[in-house]
A and B are shown apart, each in its own frame.
Chain A
Amino acid sequence: MMVMVVTTIGVASWLAIVNGRTMYTEAVEDGMRRRVALENSRSIAEEYMYRVAATSDAAPAASFPLDPDAIPNPNPPAEADQPDIVEQVQIAANADGPLEASSTDPISRVNRLGMAEGIDCYQTFYNVALGRGTNQRIRRFELRGRSPILYGDLVTLHRPTLTPGSTSSPDIRFRGNVNVKGRTVLWRPDMIDYDSDSLFSSNEYVLKSRSYGDLPVYNSVGDRLRPSNFPFKPTSAGSTAAGDLGFDGRLSTVENASNPINTLFGRIGGVGGTVGRVEANGDAISSERGVVSNGSGSISIDLSESSLSKIYIKNNTRTITLNGQADDTAFDAAADLQPVILVIIQDGLTSRDLDTIQLTHRNSRRLIVAVKTTIDAGQSASRLRAKFRWMNSNASPKPTWRLIAIAENTEIRFQHDADNSHVTIFGGIRTDRGFYSDNVDTKSFTIERETNPESTLTALLDRNVWLESYNPD
């Protein structure tokens, strides 16, 4: 009897435990669905903030109720096709976004955050309440923006905005004896024509998506690099056109009427902002803040001129000469001058299309060269390029240049005027039409990160924004 009693008690206890586990297992599935619903709701809130705040300067609505019943069923009549979401998302209003130039001053809720090595990040935040009934969860979303070049993306090949001339031989060429001491970012490797004799190497290598294939990128000792990224955080520099979002890798930060706050043209004043700006359109300029134009498509710019800061060149210019510093004294002094932005826009091909940007001596002045060509597809690649040609490049010491080059619909091509030469560039490049350097056996380049951008350069450059989410508890 005792044995039976003990056994009965034991079996009853086991039954109770199993029953409890049954209830727990059922709750596990419910809990999983609730967590997925919260994540889904958070994703929808992110989508809203990306579209409203990250791609424009518009402030999101003060309150954004999210009603699952209001969402059209995409696959009727199956009710199960509705996504699991919570009942309400409340997004706190915010007036400013981290893309705008005015965020250089801490206004409203836009803050500057000091990042590594003196590089600033611009941030605003949203408190978002995700609710189901009376149960509310508060998430804090931080929308941050910074210059990708200053943060280490030294070479970025974007997705072209305009279709390349030929799909079998696309204009997006990638070749060079270039050692990148930072990250190389490729948005669409499948659209790139990669030369097999290229000696391109990089410290790191980031792909937008594995589904677009891969390219043979090597490190400095010749080992094949694997992409260092896991999932790619959505980033945007803003709308690329009216009604178009900028999350697919297209580059539109030189000039963009749909998103002027984050363009380099906007940084030099934009349309009508001529104060302190030297403008050239092919007409002769005898001398204005160190800029000379011969009226025949040739412009010379003295980078040691202290009053120079903004230059806008529109059409009719074939050759631009950027004169650096010839001696050590001038070289050291130029490092303390204000940065120079040179914006070149070609909105129609002429007999004097941009071809060559000559660079003489060395340069320690912070320099941004932005080029945009707005002609359509089908044009020859040779008419869509900016050749950066270093003069006396085999001089001693080897030339070093502070240079950030951003080219839309324009190939960036690096050249030396002499063999056995090497140029070190402190800055980076972004282009959507390829990056190409000549004579890989005898002419080489190193691109290094600008480690002392100072706040003026940080504020002048275009930015990419992304969202981060935190639990404030």
Chain B
Amino acid sequence: MRTRIYRRHNRAGYTLVEAAVAATVLLIAVGAACALSLTMITQEEIHVRVSRAVNLVENATQLYHLGIDTEVPSGSTDATVFSLLPPDPMVSSFTATAQTSPAMTGIGAPQQVSFALTFFPTADPAVWQPATTSFSGTWGGRPDTAVAGNSDTRTIGPVKAVRPSVR
């Protein structure tokens, strides 16, 4: 009599369902990691740009405190303060608006200017290139407004800078 011997296989295995679930979980994890990475890279870019924008505003105020004019000299398209700052394609606009001087008893009326810088905070494929256009009276850099989808902006300011009127 022939005896049929059934041997149990010792090798472990996964069913197709198990493999599919595992692959899905892995894909989700990898996808999440990729998305997180992109987000963080974007966030890093934002940090860099915000820091740069803050530096530009502070540099402008320091130049103003030193006595540099915010008016546009004859023969130029940019205010003297801005012509001394490096052009930056992330800048959408950088304005210096003369403010009514705050009259203070016993002091007089110090000069006051309000600086505001609007920039594109997100990463984009903008190419750094020399200035070919300018914002009359405000900024000499070439803004990357032509980049599709790059319409979100952020503004640093207004930051008020005050200097003595006696000059």
How would you classify the secondary structure of chain B's contact residues: helix, strand, loop or mixed? Answer: mixed
B31 interface residue, CB < 8 Å from A? no
Complex Cα spacing A325 to B71, Å: 53
Q: Which residue of A lies closest to B58 (CB)?
A: A32
B43 neighbours in A (Cβ, 8 Å): 18, 21-22
B164 neighbours in A (Cβ, 8 Å): 43-44, 46-47, 50, 234
Complex Cα spacing A51 to B104, Å: 12
A231 touches B66 (CB 8 A): yes
B100 touches A210 (CB 8 A): no
A247 interface residue, CB < 8 Å from B? yes
Question: CB-defined interface of A305-332 with B at 8 Å, one 1/0 digit per residue?
Answer: 0000000000000000000000000000
B31: shortest Cβ distance to chain A, in Å?
13
Q: Which residue of B lies closest to A55 (CB)?
A: B166
B44 interface residue, CB < 8 Å from A? yes
Give chain B interface residues in 102-131, CB to chain A under 8 Å: 102-104, 106-108, 110, 112, 114
B27: shortest Cβ distance to chain A, in Å?
13
Number of B residues, CB within 8 Å of A: 49
B97: shortest Cβ distance to chain A, in Å?
10
A210 touches B112 (CB 8 A): no
Question: CB-defined interface of A70-102 with B at 8 Å, one 1/0 digit per residue?
Answer: 111111000011111100000000000000000
B112 touches A74 (CB 8 A): yes
Number of A residues, CB within 8 Å of B: 52
B33 neighbours in A (Cβ, 8 Å): 7, 11
B158 neighbours in A (Cβ, 8 Å): 80-81
Contact of B44 among A11, A18, A47, A84 (CB under 8 A): A18
A84 touches B159 (CB 8 A): yes
Given A39-B62, A43-B110, A232-B67, decide whether A71 and B161 contact each other with a Cβ distance below 8 A. no
A51 touches B100 (CB 8 A): no
A29 neighbours in B (Cβ, 8 Å): 50, 54, 156
A81: shortest Cβ distance to chain B, in Å?
6
A59 neighbours in B (Cβ, 8 Å): none
Complex Cα spacing A233 to B68, Å: 10
A4 interface residue, CB < 8 Å from B? yes
Give chain B interface residues in 140-167, CB to chain A under 8 Å: 156, 158-167
A44 touches B104 (CB 8 A): yes
Complex Cα spacing A14 to B40, Å: 8
Given A44-B104, A50-B166, decide whether A75 and B99 contact each other with a Cβ distance below 8 A. yes
Complex Cα spacing A85 to B107, Å: 14
Contact of A51 among B47, B99, B107, B114 (CB under 8 A): B107
B51 touches A247 (CB 8 A): no
B166 touches A39 (CB 8 A): no
A44 neighbours in B (Cβ, 8 Å): 104, 107, 110, 162, 164
A36 interface residue, CB < 8 Å from B? yes
Complex Cα spacing A18 to B39, Å: 10
B107 neighbours in A (Cβ, 8 Å): 44, 47-48, 51
A163 interface residue, CB < 8 Å from B? no
B138 interface residue, CB < 8 Å from A? no
A70 neighbours in B (Cβ, 8 Å): 104
B92 interface residue, CB < 8 Å from A? no
- Interface positions of A (Cβ within 8 A of B): 4, 7, 11, 14-15, 18, 21-22, 24-25, 28-29, 32-33, 35-36, 39-40, 43-44, 46-48, 50-52, 54, 64, 70-75, 80-85, 209-211, 213, 230-234, 236, 245, 247
Q: A24-B47, A43-B164, A72-B102 are in contact. List 8 more A-B contacts (CB 8 A).
A: A11-B33, A32-B54, A54-B166, A81-B99, A81-B114, A213-B74, A234-B167, A236-B166
- Interface positions of B (Cβ within 8 A of A): 29, 33, 36-37, 40, 43-44, 46-47, 50-51, 54-55, 57-58, 61-62, 65-69, 71, 73-74, 80, 99-104, 106-108, 110, 112, 114, 156, 158-167
